Amino acid sequence: MDILITVIYLILFIVMMVFVFSIGMLKQYMPKREVVLVLVVAFLIGSIGGAFFLDPIYDELPSVISAIEKTMPNNEETLYLDLSSSVNINELKNKLNSTDGFKSFDEKSITIPMWSFNEREHDYFDRIVGNIDSHYKSHYINSSEIQITLEENYTSAQALKSFSDWYKLVYGGTISYAQVHAVLVVDSSALDRFEEILLEDGIVASKIEGPIQDSINNTNSSMLSNIEFTLICGGVGVVVALMGIYIDSVVPKYRKFRKVLREKRKR
């Protein structure tokens, strides 16, 4: 939502509150029992105004907070990426590296889909995978996948090739696919630009960590629901109506109070 629309929505809500205030000022011309009706109407007008004009602005609050975080110097965002091994990772890395705001890109691990292991096969792979390549930092075997954590500066392509060579030697088949888990670190101010670059290749971060994401999560967790916010706007309408109802009695008392203060100062 741009600034112009935001200002228009705020003005329209204020106009509605002025109308509610005006209705309240008509109290002296109506029976006392009609005051309840005025308050009900004020609540409805406030709720409708909140739902149509203020709620869209309220929903933009996380975006506003994140925009502020983007302006802070030295903030960094960490993007966790799950890539297909068919992606040209070197080309992707070069593209990211040439973009302002780039910090680092590391291939952390690969997940190789297999078949549903029985207990004997699970124990066998758990025992043998660590000996296939000395650059395998660690490994984890679940019921149908093998996850291999890579040493620093060791690429997923190298890890997949070494595993595929071993698999071909032992089983006579080939392994040509794996899911690559990488971590991209960028300046917070450049997050949107890097997300666009990734999206061009059909890549969406599985998780983002950093000040921007933290601010969005914290704001979302503390925000009221749309219904709660609308009810509060209705309450604002009631308060404004009450101000209109009692303005005739408050203003004379306020003027009298100021007169008393002036007289005391003269003494």
Least confident of 24-38, 107-121, 250-264: 250-264
pLDDT at 265: 62
Q: In angstroms, rounded to a whole number, what is the distance separating the alpha carbons of residues 89 and 161? A: 15
CB 180 within 8 A of CB 85: yes
Block residue for tokens 């205030």: 21
Helical H runs in 26-117? Answer: 34-49, 55-59, 61-70, 89-97
pLDDT above 70 covers a percentage of the chain that reads: 92
CB 35 within 8 A of CB 245: yes
154-199 pLDDT, tens digit per residue, is: 999 999 999 999 999 988 888 878 999 999 999 988 888 999 999 9
CB 175 within 8 A of CB 85: no
196-226 pLDDT, tens digit per residue, is: 999 988 899 999 998 888 888 888 888 889 9
